Chain A
């Protein structure tokens, strides 16, 4: 038993899951019916938990792409800007068409947004893989210029769209479940299958852990980097479309603002190291849920919602400090010492 407890403690998902459970517990204490899910008149699921999985979807989607980028020792700061660009492209196409309610128009708009984002991702991949620029710097360029490009597309306006099919993306329900949640679930599943059922995950981790050994084993890092940055940008576009659809407006300045930080946070909370290597999409899922639950908790507990940021800071700090080498080493020392003392403690216990 003790052994299992010990193993649970050292499991990489222990702290994030513990944090999620703690947050949920706080909510349940504050609002006893927190976990209750009801079905409303339209047959839609309804409840705080549903809100969490719906509103957390965009962050989760981007965090999935970010996980793979980070696994290669990279980072993508440009996802927020890509969100804004995708939203701007889609809205301007829909607004430009005579019939915004036509699903075909919306389909074209979505595809165009995703296609443009793919190019953005390839651009990031080019800077990182071919020119060899540090990822944080390479993606900073698009992060800065991207908002300008989005404004160029919207011509500086906030584009409000009234399009039923487009609105469906962000706030619709399918079989009672929010569409955004379904998209998020599909994406994380596809990403998991794509990387774990093919050799993509293995090669990404291998490059992230030991680039030189991977090179000598014949792994082509360049192609992998292009793939992960392109993938990340496409996911950012999808998240951007959901956000835009939810707000029924493309706002070049504010769509996806700071979402890169939330996404990176979700990845780090999920136990994937910013130094690259082994990644965990399950961890990222937990991380994204922790972030969204945190936001919800602030509401339910009655703390002014504006304090969310302070709590995010506390969570980031706590998890980073718990995961840091220094703490791990201190824990290990402490454990060794307690092992050394073990005979005594056991004697006490057996009495």
Chain B
């Protein structure tokens, strides 16, 4: 290459690189989501007074920390090409276990441990059902959803409020970040979970096998990857995350209720898809899913700020966004094959 051409070609190369990154099925959708998030935030800031502030952003995290944790677990499952319909019910079950055990005078740490073990075990059972009995994830997690909701009702029909000092403290505590900004402890938990999830997916063989299953289970197996174990484990992770999300939700609402978090599984799935994870598996990042949660939260915030715009527009917007992202994924993946 001659020196005279170098600047021009460097520019074109950079441009090609940008085009490549945006049209890759791996990074394209998540970048689009990031751009979308910034655009919506800027649009909101231009339109509403008091919107452009750090605390509005942090409130997104505070209000949606449990959903971020749910979306992390859901990402693992969806990356393998599966789906987990049980997460909403498991969140409700967790809140109700928490409320009932605290009522019975248990130590909060023991309560949280019981919840996490129980929900992980439920995930394990679902994973085994899917792996050993070849039941479709859709049906197996549906059964788990029924089971979890049913157990909720059996434990307590009515809403139980939580007044244990530890939970109350977790609900009210704000960790100051300076400049008058603060976050709740739940946000810290969610961000730690996010970091762990991202690390596991990127830096462990288990994580890469999760992607491998979504890309082609047969190929992964022929390459000698532990596909069977991984396939079961992703449901355990989703169960664990649902339990953790349930604990955060209990911090947030300070109550346990059987009918709570109905339809949350849809929010989690929508967040994962909008965050750029392919629903058929193989592509996506947990960070994208968290970004997806924030986009959903931002839409909700805008609708609140708008005041005149009724809340049901949220669902329509989410549906429209889902449509856009699904078509985007379709286009990006079909271009490659």
B partners with A: yes
Cα distance, A146 to B138, chains bound together (Å):
21
* A9 located at the interface, meaning its Cβ lies under 8 Å from any Cβ of chain B in the complex: no
Given known A-B contacts A151-B312, A151-B315, A310-B151, A140 and B146 have beta carbons under 8 A apart: no
A312:B132 contact, CB within 8 angstroms: no
Cα distance, A195 to B258, chains bound together (Å):
42
Binds B, one of A10-18, A44-52, A243-251, A316-324: A316-324
* A131 located at the interface, meaning its Cβ lies under 8 Å from any Cβ of chain B in the complex: yes
Which among A252, A309, A325 is the interface contact of B134 at CB below 8 angstroms?
A325
Binds B, one of A20-28, A182-190, A214-222, A300-308: A300-308
| CB-contacts of B265-289 with A (<8 A) | 266, 269-270, 273, 279-280
* B139 located at the interface, meaning its Cβ lies under 8 Å from any Cβ of chain A in the complex: yes
B323:A141 contact, CB within 8 angstroms: yes
* A138 located at the interface, meaning its Cβ lies under 8 Å from any Cβ of chain B in the complex: yes
A321:B129 contact, CB within 8 angstroms: yes
* Contacting residues, chain A, for B146 (C-beta < 8 A): 309-310, 312-313, 316
Cα distance, A152 to B313, chains bound together (Å):
8
Closest beta carbon of chain A to B185's beta carbon, Å: 31
* Contacting residues, chain A, for B40 (C-beta < 8 A): none
| CB-contacts of A57-91 with B (<8 A) | 75
A313:B266 contact, CB within 8 angstroms: no
* Contacting residues, chain A, for B134 (C-beta < 8 A): 324-326
Given known A-B contacts A133-B330, A309-B150, A321-B135, A147 and B312 have beta carbons under 8 A apart: yes
A326:B142 contact, CB within 8 angstroms: no
A304:B316 contact, CB within 8 angstroms: no
Closest beta carbon of chain B to A255's beta carbon, Å: 14
Closest beta carbon of chain A to B61's beta carbon, Å: 23
| CB-contacts of A293-351 with B (<8 A) | 304, 306-314, 316-317, 320-321, 324-327
A317:B312 contact, CB within 8 angstroms: no
* B308 located at the interface, meaning its Cβ lies under 8 Å from any Cβ of chain A in the complex: no
* A148 located at the interface, meaning its Cβ lies under 8 Å from any Cβ of chain B in the complex: yes
Given known A-B contacts A144-B319, A148-B319, A306-B154, A252 and B312 have beta carbons under 8 A apart: yes
A134:B312 contact, CB within 8 angstroms: no
B142:A316 contact, CB within 8 angstroms: yes
Mask of A137-164 contacts with B, CB within 8 angstroms, 1/0: 1101111111111011001100000000
* Contacting residues, chain B, for A103 (C-beta < 8 A): none
Cα distance, A141 to B319, chains bound together (Å):
5
Please give me the residue from chain A that is nearest to B278 by CB atom. A137
Which among A148, A265, A320 is the interface contact of B313 at CB below 8 angstroms?
A148
Mask of B31-69 contacts with A, CB within 8 angstroms, 1/0: 000000000000000000000000000000000000000
* A176 located at the interface, meaning its Cβ lies under 8 Å from any Cβ of chain B in the complex: no
B132:A326 contact, CB within 8 angstroms: yes
Please give me the residue from chain A that is nearest to B136 by CB atom. A274
* Contacting residues, chain B, for A313 (C-beta < 8 A): 143-147, 150
A144:B318 contact, CB within 8 angstroms: yes
* Contacting residues, chain B, for A223 (C-beta < 8 A): none
* A136 located at the interface, meaning its Cβ lies under 8 Å from any Cβ of chain B in the complex: yes
* A111 located at the interface, meaning its Cβ lies under 8 Å from any Cβ of chain B in the complex: no
Closest beta carbon of chain B to A156's beta carbon, Å: 6
Given known A-B contacts A134-B280, A313-B143, A326-B134, A144 and B270 have beta carbons under 8 A apart: yes
B279, B311, B322 interface centre (most CB from chain A within 10 Å): B322
Which among A309, A320, A321 is the interface contact of B153 at CB below 8 angstroms?
A309
Given known A-B contacts A131-B327, A144-B319, A268 and B149 have beta carbons under 8 A apart: no
B315:A312 contact, CB within 8 angstroms: no
Cα distance, A320 to B140, chains bound together (Å):
8
Known pairs A132-B330, A148-B315, A306-B153; list 17 more (Cβ under 8 Å): A134-B280, A141-B322, A141-B323, A142-B319, A143-B266, A145-B319, A151-B315, A252-B312, A261-B142, A268-B139, A304-B154, A309-B147, A310-B154, A312-B150, A313-B147, A320-B129, A321-B129
The 3 closest A-B pairs by CB, nearest first: A145-B319, A148-B315, A309-B150
